[in-house]
Amino acid sequence: MYSKLPARRMPRQVGFWLLAVTLLSILAASAAPSPLYVVYQERWGFSPTVLTAIFAIYVVALLVALLTVGGLSDHVGRRPVLAAALVAEAASMVVFLTADGVGPLLIARTLQGLATGAATGALSAGLLDLQPSPTSTLGPLLNSLAPASGLAAGALGTGLLVQYAPAPTALVFALFTALFVLLAAAVFLLPEPVTPRPGAWASLRPRVSVPPEARGTFLAAVPALIATWALGGLYLALGPSLTTEGLHVDNHLVGGLVVTTLFGAGAAASLVVRGAAPRRVIAAGSVALAIGTALTLLALAASSTPLFFFATALAGAGFGSTFLSAFRSLATLAGPKDRAKLIAAVYVVSYLALSVPAVLAGLAVPSLGLTTTTTIYGAGVIGLALLATASTSLVRKPPATPLVAVASSADRDVARGQAEEAVRTAKSGRRSRS
């Protein structure tokens, strides 16, 4: 009789980067439909209101998943939640692939939103679990880089395929289907940093949990989160339409480049400011966001494409640096048992800001027109960005004791995980020799 050997797991470092690639891929897929909205409109003749409804239903589904299963991986482990989410993500790509009208698009976006929401909390918490050390900034950096980088890559890749490749509404989703199937299989080789514990069913009760020690910082970060993601929602929902109607540029690649410029500049800015003090970066980034948005409105009024892309890049730099610093200021304020719930709360605010203003804009376009609606929308973003600057300067730094406790708790978790991995390796070696 041969004893059953334990399943082989990939090293923690490899698992960390697999989680980063998975988060990037899921967020890239979420932006993939944006350059296609204009194609779908031409093909099926729906209004801007329907367009924003297709966009918004994704965010509503995502929020439902965040509020219910956002903290589930804290109880049952990261692997099972991620595997289920990736299978659902692949299924949504198949629905996109075969869509023949508005109905299937709504179904695909709903399924995609549920999958993305289920995966986001587990992936973000997993990146903090498996980062090189408890005090490393790599986990928070990738958590904040992934949304901007993923959205930029998804929009650019889809724009290229739509403009220059055959089967513009099918090829991108076929590629993503294959990718998510492979990632779902790879997830089972991940090291599991969470020991299953009771409370899984109770954790499904919709709620947002912010630990007491993080609440002051969280409230101060809310205006920054709303300002950044409200601007992102405008570009994702109506960005390609702005290039067509506002700039008079009828090219699907350019429509994708608008989204890519905003989020690509955000990713680049995050790298530049990653070591700076979060409060200072939030203040400066919010000012850059306000100025970039104002210049964007000026560019649309003048139909100036070069100014529009410059302003979008400036606003994107403000977006990325502000969100990174807001995330960093919150990421260390919760221990492993509460980490996924706190991250879910951050994303609940962010995705509400991404969706609700964009839906209201879509409803206003038929009566006010795209230009007027965008001007009002931009003015709101500018006001929120300036409020973010003020609120960040007023908040007090969190007390040192909770941070020390969080760090020591994380140290214990990392040490325990490494010890358990060493024991499994030793047992495997003894059984192989026997």
For 320-371, the pLDDT digits (tens) are: 888 878 877 776 776 666 666 777 788 788 888 988 888 888 888 888 888 8
Alpha-carbon gap, residue 14 to 20, rounded angstroms: 10
8 A C-beta contact, residue 55 and residue 361: no
**pLDDT average, residue stretch 31-46:** 82
- Pick from 103-107, 155-159, 363-367, 400-404: least confident: 400-404
Helix 215-241 to helix 336-368 angle (10° resolution) is: 40
As a residue count, the chain comes to 434
Q: What is the set of domains in the chain, with CATH numbers? A: 12-192+211-412 (1.20.1250.20)
214 secondary structure, DSSP code:
G
**pLDDT average, residue stretch 264-275:** 85
8 A C-beta contact, residue 120 and residue 86: no
Give the pLDDT confidence score for residue 315 in this predicted structure. 94
Give the pLDDT confidence score for residue 126 in this predicted structure. 83
Give the pLDDT confidence score for residue 255 in this predicted structure. 72
Which uninterrupted H or E stretch holds 33?
none
The model's confidence at residue 251, banded by pLDDT at 50, 70 and 90, is: confident
Give the pLDDT confidence score for residue 431 in this predicted structure. 47
- Nearest-5° angle of CA 379, CA 384, CA 386? 95
Alpha-carbon gap, residue 145 to 231, rounded angstroms: 17
Residue 375 has pLDDT above 70, yes or no: yes
**pLDDT average, residue stretch 141-146:** 76
Which tokens belong to 151?
Answer: 């959205």
Contacts 24+ apart (CB under 8 A), 132-136: 132/13, 132/16, 133/414, 134/407, 134/410, 134/411, 134/413, 134/414, 135/407
Residue 287 has pLDDT above 90, yes or no: yes
Of the two residues 377 and 431, the one the predictor is more confident about is 377
Residue 280 has pLDDT above 70, yes or no: yes
Give the pLDDT confidence score for residue 417 in this predicted structure. 46
- Pick from 225-229, 275-279, 305-309: least confident: 275-279
The overall pTM is greater than 0.85? no
Residues 6+ apart with CB under 8 A from 140: 128, 324, 327, 328, 331, 332
Residue 433 has pLDDT above 50, yes or no: no
Question: Where is mean pLDDT largest: 132-141, 288-297, 398-407?
Answer: 288-297
Alpha-carbon gap, residue 59 to 229, rounded angstroms: 12
Give the pLDDT confidence score for residue 423 in this predicted structure. 43
Report the mean per-residue pLDDT for the chain: 80
Neighbours of 98 (CB within 10 A): 10
- Pick from 23-37, 159-173, 192-206, 219-233: least confident: 192-206
Alpha-carbon gap, residue 67 to 47, rounded angstroms: 30
Residue 178 has pLDDT above 80, yes or no: yes
Give the pLDDT confidence score for residue 394 in this predicted structure. 65
Alpha-carbon gap, residue 155 to 132, rounded angstroms: 31
8 A C-beta contact, residue 384 and residue 225: no
Alpha-carbon gap, residue 180 to 322, rounded angstroms: 30
8 A C-beta contact, residue 342 and residue 334: yes
Residue with tokens 């995330």: 327
Identity of residue 52: T
Give the pLDDT confidence score for residue 203 in this predicted structure. 67
How far is the CA of 289 from the CAs of 261, 275, 317, 383, in angstroms?
Answer: 14, 20, 7, 10
361: helix, strand or coil: helix
